Structure 1
Amino acid sequence: MDALITAASRALATGDPLDALNRVALRDDAPALALRGIAMAQLGDLGRAKALLRAAARAFGTREPAARARCVVAEAEIALVSRDLGWPATALAAARATLEAHGDRVNAAHARYLEARRLLLIGRLGEAEHVLDGLDPASLRPASGAARELVVAGIAMRQLRTQAARAALARAEQAAYAAAIPALMAEVESVARALETPVARLIAHGEVRPLRLEAVEALLTSPALVVDACRHLVRDAHTVIPLDRRPVLFTLVRLLGEAWPDGVPRGTLVALAFRGKRADDSYRARLRVEIGRLRHALEPLAGVTATPRGYALAPSGSREVVVLAPPVEEAHASLLALLADGEAWSSSALALALGISQRSVQRGLDSLATAGKVQGFGRGRARRWITSPVPGFPTTLLLPAPLPSG
C-alpha cells in the first residue's frame, strides 16, 4: 500500500474525509476508489459513495477477496445510514466471513456491528444480542468499541434495563473520546440525553406526571396493575396481557384505568369506544358483549364490575391501577418514533421495522404529510421520509421490540 493510500486511510479513521479526498481525488485505482467512496459517505453524498464503492469492488475483482469484502461492508453501512433495511444481509454475512478468513479482525468486527445495528432497528433484540456476543470488546479499536456499546445501550433501553444502558453509555463515552471523532462523541451524547428525557406519562387518581425510562422500569416491577398505552397491553410484574390486536378492549380498559377507583358511565364508554352519539339499546348490548370479552381477557389480573351508572375496574388483590401513556399523544406514533432519529427512511424500511404492510405505512405517511408532520422527497424506490424530532416525543417505548415479559 503506497503512502497516499495509507495517509488517506488514517484521515478517514479519524473522521477527516476532506483530507482523504485531497490525497486520492485524482486517482482511479481500486484502493483510491474505495477510499473516495468512504469519504463521500462521511460527507453525506451517499449516492456517489455507493457508486464509487461498487466500482472499487469490480476493480478489486476475485483476486483480492478481502478488499472486495471491505467494499461490501462499506456499502452495507451506507444502506444502514440511508435506512435501506432491505439490503441483503446475506451479502454482509458473507463479507464478514471472508474478512475473518483473511485475518482482518477489525473490519470483520465492524461488519458484525452493522448486522447487530440493523437487527436493533427492526426490533429483533435477541438476534442482535447474539451477533454482539461474537464481538470481543478488548480486541476492538476505540471507534468500533464505542459503536458496539451504543448498540448494547440501545438494546438495554428497548428492554427497559436502565442501569445496563447507563453502563454501556459510560463505556461508549470513554471509547468515543479515545477515538477523538466529534461525530461519534455527539452520537453518544444524544443517546445519553434520551435517558434523561420523559418517555411516558403516569396517570393515576386523576393526576398526571412525566416519567423517565428508569421510573418506567421501576413501575413495571412494582405490584401495580399497569395499563400500558404505549404498547397496548395490561400487565403487572409477572403477567402480560397484550391487547394490541383488540383495540376496542384496550380503549375500554384504558378508560376504566384512568377513572379507577371510580367507574365510567355507560354513555362515556359508548361514545369513546364505539364513537356512538348516545347509548341506545343496540350500543348498550354491544357494550355488554365487549365488557364480557374484557372480563375474560383480564381474568388473571382484574375483573370488571357493574355499577349503577356504568362499569369499574376491580384489580385482584389490594393494589393500585395506573395508566402509562405517551407524553405526546400522536396518530401513527410508531412511525413518528422511528422517524424521530433524524434519518431519511423509505416506506419499505418502515414497514420492515414495524412488521406491518407497506401499504399501511404509506397511508400513515400520507396522513402525517397532510398534517405537515413529515416530508417526503425523491420518487419511486428512492423516495424517503423525514421529520424533525418532536420536543418531548416518546421514542424508546414506541420503537419495535418484543412484548416485555415478567
Structure 2
Amino acid sequence: MDSLITAAARALSAGDPLAALKRVALRDDPPALALRGIAMAQLGDLTRARELLRSAARTFGSREPMARARCAVAEAEIALVTRDLGRSLQTLNAARTVLEASGDRWNAAHAGYLQARHLLLIGRLVEAEEVLDAFDAGVLPPASLVGRELVVAGIAIRRIMTEPAKAALERARRAAENARIPALVAEVDQAVRAFGAPAARFVTRDVERLLHLEDVERLLASDTLIVDACRNIVRAGTKIVPLAARPVLLALIRALAEAWPEDVPRETLLKRAFRARHADESHRARLRVEMARLREAIKPLAALNATKRGFVLRPHGAGSVAVLAPPVEGDHAEVLALLGDGEAWSSSALALGLSVSPRTVQRALEELAHKGQVEAFGRGRACRWIATSVPGFPTSLLLPVAGISS
C-alpha cells in the first residue's frame, strides 16, 4: 500500500485538497494523477481537473477497469458542476455498473447519488427516486451523504411537499456538520435560504401576494381552481390539464382567472393572447377558434361562457379561482430561474433542463445578454452562461417536471 496515496485520499475525503496535493503534486503515476485531478476540482480548477482525470484513466488502461470507472465518476461529477448534462448520465451508468461488479460499494453508491442529482436537474423525479432507493445510503462517504439529502430535499420541493423537504434539509445540515467540511455547510445553508424564500405569487382579481412553499402546498390542497403559470397547467384537486405546449390557451385562461368572477372583454383577451394592439376581423375569428379549443381542453375543470362583451370562466364545484405565478416574471424567466442557482450552464444543458430546443434557448440567451442579465465565457462547446445577478428566489416551481403527475 502506498502511504502517500492513502494519506492524499484521506485528505480529499476530509475536504483538504491542499494537503492532498502536498503528497502527490510531483507524481505522474495513475493513482496520483487521479487524486490530483480530484484535488484540482475541489479547488475550482475544473478544466485542469478534467485533463488530469482523463490522463489517469488512459494510463490505468483496460486492465484496471475499477480505477478507470472511479475516474469516470469523478469526471461525471465535474460535468454536473459545470452543467454539461449531455453525456454524463451515460458515463455514470456505465461506471456504476463496473464499480458494483467490482465490489466497490462506496464509489458505486456515490455514482448512484450523482445519477439522481442529474435526473433531478432535468425534472425526472420518479427515476431519481428509483436510483436513490437502489443503494444503501449508509455506505456513502460523509460528503456524498450531504448531497444525497439535498437531492431528496430537491425532489420534495419540486413536488411541493414541505415537511419531507424540511426533514431532508435538516438531515443534510447534520451530515455536513459531522463531515466538518465548510464548503458543504455553506452549500446546505444556501439550500435552506432558498427553501425559505418566496416560491410563487398568488394572484386574483382583488389580491396579489407572495407565497412560501408551505402556502403553495395548502393552496394546492384546497378546492381552488388554479391556473399554475409556474408549471403551465390548470388544476383543481387531483385533476390536471397540461398547457405547456399551448401558450395561447394558457394566456387566455390566465386572463380569465385573474378577472374571475367577472368576465374579460374580447379586446383584453386579444391583447393578452396575441398582443394585438388593433384588433381586426381576422383577430376576432382567431379568438373564437382559440376559445373553442380552450373550452374543450378545460372541460373536466370548468366551462367558458360568452358574455355581451367577452367571456367568463365558470369552474365546476371549485370554491374560488386563482393564478399561481412565479415570484418574478419577465421574458425568459425560466432560463433565468435555472441560471439562478449560481452555476455556469451550457446552452445545451439549459435546453435539456427546460425541455425545449437548443435554438430556443440560444435565442433567449442572446436577448438576455443584450439586456445585460446574463453573460457568457468560453468559446464553442466550452461556452458557459451565468446570471449577472442571481435572483433572490428559488427555482423549484419554475422548472418543468417530466410527467407532471409524478
TM > 0.5 fold call: yes
Q: Which amino acid aligns with 1:224?
A: T
* Contact in 2 for aligned 1:266/1:279 (Cα 8 Å): no
1:26 corresponds in structure 2 to 26
Which stretch shows the higher mean deviation, 311-320 or 31-40? 311-320
Question: Is 1:381 aligned with 2:384?
Answer: no
TM-score, normalising length from structure 2?
A: 0.96
Which stretch shows the higher mean deviation, 327-336 or 63-72? 63-72
SS at match of 1:398: coil
Q: Which amino acid aligns with 1:398?
A: L
Distance 1:328 1:12 in 2: 40
SS at match of 2:262: coil
Distance 2:64 2:390 in 1: 47
Question: Is 1:2 aligned with 2:10?
Answer: no
2:354 corresponds in structure 1 to 354
1:166 corresponds in structure 2 to 166
Distance 2:301 2:87 in 1: 43
SS at match of 2:261: coil
* Contact in 1 for aligned 2:223/2:236 (Cα 8 Å): yes
Structure-2 change in CA distance of 1:383 and 1:226 (3 Å): same
Structure-2 change in CA distance of 1:65 and 1:271 (3 Å): closer
Q: Which amino acid aligns with 1:356?
A: V
Distance 1:401 1:158 in 2: 8
SS at match of 2:322: strand
Q: Which amino acid aligns with 1:206?
A: D
1:136 corresponds in structure 2 to 136
Q: Which amino acid aligns with 1:196?
A: G
Structure-2 change in CA distance of 1:277 and 1:380 (3 Å): same
1:335 corresponds in structure 2 to 335
Structure-2 change in CA distance of 1:193 and 1:258 (3 Å): same
Q: Which amino acid aligns with 2:400?
A: P
Q: Which amino acid aligns with 1:127?
A: E
Distance 1:238 1:74 in 2: 41
* Contact in 1 for aligned 2:375/2:388 (Cα 8 Å): no
Measured after TM superposition, the shift of residue 309 of structure 1 is 2.0
Q: Which amino acid aligns with 2:324?
A: L
Measured after TM superposition, the shift of residue 388 of structure 1 is 4.0
* Contact in 2 for aligned 1:24/1:36 (Cα 8 Å): yes
Deviations 1:29-74 (A, max 9, x none): 1111111110111111111111111111122223322222211111
Distance 1:366 1:251 in 2: 24
* Contact in 1 for aligned 2:346/2:385 (Cα 8 Å): yes
Which stretch shows the higher mean deviation, 282-291 or 328-337? 282-291
Q: Which amino acid aligns with 1:6?
A: T
Deviations 1:52-105 (A, max 9, x none): 111111222233222222111111111111111112533322222222222221
* Contact in 1 for aligned 2:18/2:39 (Cα 8 Å): yes
* Contact in 2 for aligned 1:351/1:361 (Cα 8 Å): yes
Which stretch shows the higher mean deviation, 270-279 or 107-116? 270-279
Describe how 1:46-57 pairs up with structure 2 within 5 A: 46-57=46-57
Structure-2 change in CA distance of 1:168 and 1:2 (3 Å): same
Q: Which amino acid aligns with 2:77?
A: E
1:178 corresponds in structure 2 to 178
1:368 corresponds in structure 2 to 368
Q: Which runs of 5+ in 2 are unaligned?
A: none
1:120 corresponds in structure 2 to 120
2:150 corresponds in structure 1 to 150
Distance 1:225 1:136 in 2: 41
Measured after TM superposition, the shift of residue 279 of structure 1 is 4.0
Deviations 1:91-128 (A, max 9, x none): 32222222222222111111111111111111111111
Distance 1:318 1:377 in 2: 50
Distance 1:138 1:276 in 2: 59
Q: Which runs of 5+ in 1 are unaligned?
A: none
Percent of residue pairs bearing the same amino acid type? 64
Distance 2:373 2:115 in 1: 31
Measured after TM superposition, the shift of residue 318 of structure 1 is 5.2
* Contact in 1 for aligned 2:225/2:318 (Cα 8 Å): no
* Contact in 2 for aligned 1:327/1:392 (Cα 8 Å): no
Describe how 1:200-239 pairs up with structure 2 within 5 A: 200-239=200-239
Q: Which amino acid aligns with 1:169?
A: L
Distance 2:102 2:212 in 1: 46
SS at match of 2:178: helix
2:107 corresponds in structure 1 to 107
Structure-2 change in CA distance of 1:259 and 1:397 (3 Å): same
* Contact in 2 for aligned 1:239/1:405 (Cα 8 Å): no
1:255 corresponds in structure 2 to 255
Structure-2 change in CA distance of 1:394 and 1:329 (3 Å): farther
Distance 1:98 1:403 in 2: 31
SS at match of 2:83: coil
Question: Is 1:392 aligned with 2:384?
Answer: no
Q: Which amino acid aligns with 1:140?
A: L
SS at match of 1:396: coil
Measured after TM superposition, the shift of residue 270 of structure 1 is 1.9
Which stretch shows the higher mean deviation, 275-284 or 351-360? 275-284
* Contact in 2 for aligned 1:198/1:213 (Cα 8 Å): yes
- The CA RMSD measured in Å over matched residues stands at 1.7
